[in-house]
Every structure is written in structure tokens, then in C-alpha cells.
Amino acid sequence: MLFEYLCGGELFTYLRNAGQFADSTCLFYAAEITSALDYLHSLSIVYRDLKPENLLLDKDGHLKLTDFGFAKRLEDRSCNIDLYSPLEQKTQTYNIQQHTDDKNDDKKMIDDKCSLNS
């Protein structure tokens, strides 16, 4: 698969050179990441490799997610989460719970987010 050329490089490089980002920069990148993950979730795709090395910047400074090797398309209404440990690999299944608005008496549904309940 080919990906467009992103001349900004990795977010990791900028973070390593800066040591830490200003609050406004953190808010900007957090909003960009949240927007990208929200879009993927709307397509029933779970991105499972979020780290600064997988966040590339375009010429305008906007982020793009890369490395979808661990991404997973959800086929049903449950999340399968792989928990890795050095000695063994475990898989646990959690139900997706529909969140409700507690302030609303009729418990109007807000959205279908993945809720991890053990």
C-alpha cells in the first residue's frame, strides 16, 4: 500500500527535540488524535498501536495515523482485547454498553462507545 508523502516527519522526533510541548500544542495534537480515532470508530475500526512514532505530520502540521498492522474491524457488538504478558497471551471479551445521559429522566441514548466492564 502506498501512502502520500508527509514531509513533516514523526511527532516523536518533535517531542524528543522539544522535551515537552506547550499546553496549547498538546491540546491541538490531542484534538487531532481524538478526531482521527472518532472517525475510525465510526467505521467500526479499532486502532491499537497509538504511539508518537505512528503519528506523522503533513506540511501544515496536521497529524495522520500510520501503521494499521494491529488495527481491527469490529464485526459485532463486543470488543475482543488481547492482553499480552511476557509469559502468556490472554484474550478477554467485554460487552459494549450503550451510555445514557444521567441528567435526562428518560435515559436518552447518547452514543455507542466501547465500555470496558469486567
101 counts as catalytic: no
Please state the separation of Cα 113 from the chain's center in Å.
13
Half-sphere exposure for 69 (CA within 13 Å, toward CB)? 3
DSSP labels, 58-111: -TTS-EEE---TT-EE--SSEEEEEEE-SS-EEEEEEE---EE-TTSTT--EEE
Q: Which of 38, 49, 58, 101 is catalytic?
A: 49
What's the DSSP call for residue 44? T
Q: 116 phi and psi, to 5 degrees? A: -90, 105
Residues tagged active-site:
49
